[in-house]
Amino acid sequence: MALQRPKGTQDHLPDGSPKLSRDVQASAFAFVQDTARRVLERAGAQFIGTPLFEEAELVRRGVGGSTDIVRKEMFTVYYFGDHGGYVLRPEGTASIVRAYLQNGLKQLPAPLKLWTHGPMFRAENVQKGRLRQFHQVDYEVLGSTDPLVDAEAIWLMWAVVRELGLTGVRVKLGSIGDPEDREAYNSYLRELFTPHEGRLSDDSKDRLTRNPMRILDSKSAEDQALIRELNVNPMLDFLGEAARAHFAAVQAHLTAWGVPFDLDPSIVRGLDYYRRTAWELHHTQVGAKSALGGGGRYDGLAAQLGGPEVPGIGWAFGIERLLLALEAEGVALPGQAGPLLFLAALDEENVGLAARLALQGRAVARVEFAYRALKPGNAFKEADRRRARYAAVIGSNEAARGVLNVKNLASGEQREVPLEALKTFLEQAELEQA
């Protein structure tokens, strides 16, 4: 058997590829990305790019030592040299905050809205919707603690979902409070779970010392059964006054703007940098891995990375999860459009001429050409297969008279276009299309 791609990765394939395995149609992927870009740029977000690999220390300190991501899922890259190792980035936020600090972006007008997209890497157990290389659209806002910024961030996720045409999405909203609130909650959890330590999974025994809140996020069925049995009070009950007021303001904005949300008192999130507002978007038809995206506020992250205090908030969508949701809802996605014009010569002498006309036409529109002479019927069939809007043929007769024979493939109408008028013809056809 020919070599296969690594487990937990996908190929992105052109339209019309045979469906052999769980692959991604590149044009559907681009549609999701372009939709997100449109929504985010309208809100004033600017693109930021960061490397695919980072110092392991950045991820350890940013994402947090008690998370599954750092403890079990890092793709570490070693090379010969005196170095602690790099990791393939498991997410975008730590990198963006690092880039903000390293490049003095504090000087730009605040709040600074940034967005990015690209592959992320986590060595997870692979299942539907859970990959080892997946892709995120990521939005981050730096330099404001205003709850209006939180609400706007959630509204933007909602706007992306709506522009994609999804309807079965729910926003689950919670707050994980300020660090002192979380400390109080962790003490409560430690007291609650310690007498039952023997029943916890090995991972959760470890969480009990490091960060008991993580137990609530455990994937083990036994842990989840114990959590239900103990009737654990939610984090929301432990919010201090400031976090409580902030959370109320976020909810008031969302309600005023008509963004529906469900309060989720048990939201934990899988990363350590969060404080205050935290949320996830879930889809009703995507199954166990139903989180399409999630986010939250991370006011302490910049300082955690060795910089000054810079408040921040953001979110990320998983593009593959959005594609699963679109598929589940049967939303028809536009494939890549075909060429405006497909040009073919009717005899060998004119193949070069047809190619030259096509190259000139590309100043205006997408124009393709046949690499060998075709009979008119075959030329039109070829154009159809490529989903062209127009087909044009040129033989010795047309060349001598300086014209192209152009056919509108939808209406079947055929007419002659003088060679010197080709550019105008293409411009008009482009306008009609728009």
Chain positions contacting ligand HAM, by CB under 6 A:
91-93, 122, 124, 129-131, 134, 136, 138, 140, 270-271, 291-296, 298, 314-316, 318, 320-321
Q: Which strands, in side-by-side order, build the sheet including 169-175?
A: 46-47, 112-121, 133-142, 312-318, 291-297, 277-283, 169-175, 262-263
Q: How far is the CB of 163 from ligand HAM (least distance, A)?
A: 17
Tokens of 179: 């660090």
Query: For ligand HAM, which residue has the nearest CB?
Result: 318
Q: How far is the CB of 311 from ligand HAM (least distance, A)?
A: 12
Q: Is 66 exposed, middle or buried (0-12, 13-18, 19+ CB in 10 A)?
A: middle
Number of H helices, E strands in the chain: 15, 18
Is 269 marked within a binding site? yes
φ and ψ at residue 121, rounded to 5 degrees: -130, 125
Nearer to ligand HAM, 283 or 407 (CB): 283
Q: How far is the CB of 286 from ligand HAM (least distance, A)?
A: 9
Nearer to ligand HAM, 243 or 388 (CB): 243
Q: How far is the CB of 119 from ligand HAM (least distance, A)?
A: 11
Q: How far is the CB of 160 from ligand HAM (least distance, A)?
A: 12
Is 273 marked within a binding site? yes
Q: Where are the alpha helices (DSSP H) in 279-395?
A: 301-304, 319-328, 351-361, 376-385
- Distance, in Å, from the CA atom of 289 to the CA atom of 268, rounded to the nearest integer, reads 16
CA of residue 36 relative to chain centroid, distance? 8
Could you tell me if residue 274 is left (phi over 0), alpha (psi between -120 and 50 degrees) or otherwise beta?
beta
Q: How far is the CB of 271 from ligand HAM (least distance, A)?
A: 6
Nearer to ligand HAM, 193 or 279 (CB): 279
Q: Which residue, chain included where needed, has tokens 């079947």?
A: 412
Nearer to ligand HAM, 143 or 318 (CB): 318
Q: Is 198 exposed, middle or buried (0-12, 13-18, 19+ CB in 10 A)?
A: exposed
Q: Where are the alpha helices (DSSP H) in 194-300?
A: 202-210, 221-230, 241-257
Nearer to ligand HAM, 178 or 398 (CB): 178
Is 274 marked within a binding site? yes
Q: How far is the CB of 131 from ligand HAM (least distance, A)?
A: 4
Are the C-beta atoms of 236 and 206 separated by less than 8 Å? no
Is 136 marked within a binding site? yes
Is 270 marked within a binding site? no
Q: How far is the CB of 64 from ligand HAM (least distance, A)?
A: 12
Are the C-beta atoms of 354 and 394 separated by less than 8 Å? yes
- Distance, in Å, from the CA atom of 346 to the CA atom of 394, rounded to the nearest integer, reads 6
Is 73 marked within a binding site? no
Nearer to ligand HAM, 73 or 398 (CB): 73
Closest CA to 354 of 382, 315, 334, 330: 382
Is 241 marked within a binding site? no
Could you tell me if residue 122 is left (phi over 0), alpha (psi between -120 and 50 degrees) or otherwise beta?
beta
Is 162 marked within a binding site? no
Nearer to ligand HAM, 298 or 369 (CB): 298
- Distance, in Å, from the CA atom of 119 to the CA atom of 88, rounded to the nearest integer, reads 9
Q: Which residues of 312-327 are buried (b: 16+ CB within 10 A; e: fewer)?
A: bbbbbbbbbbbbbbbe
Nearer to ligand HAM, 92 or 339 (CB): 92
Nearer to ligand HAM, 150 or 181 (CB): 150
Is 25 marked within a binding site? no
Q: How far is the CB of 187 from ligand HAM (least distance, A)?
A: 26
User: Which residues are documented as binding site?
Assistant: 91-93, 122, 136, 140, 269, 273-274
User: Which residues are documented as binding site for L-histidine?
Assistant: 91-93, 122, 136, 140, 269, 273-274
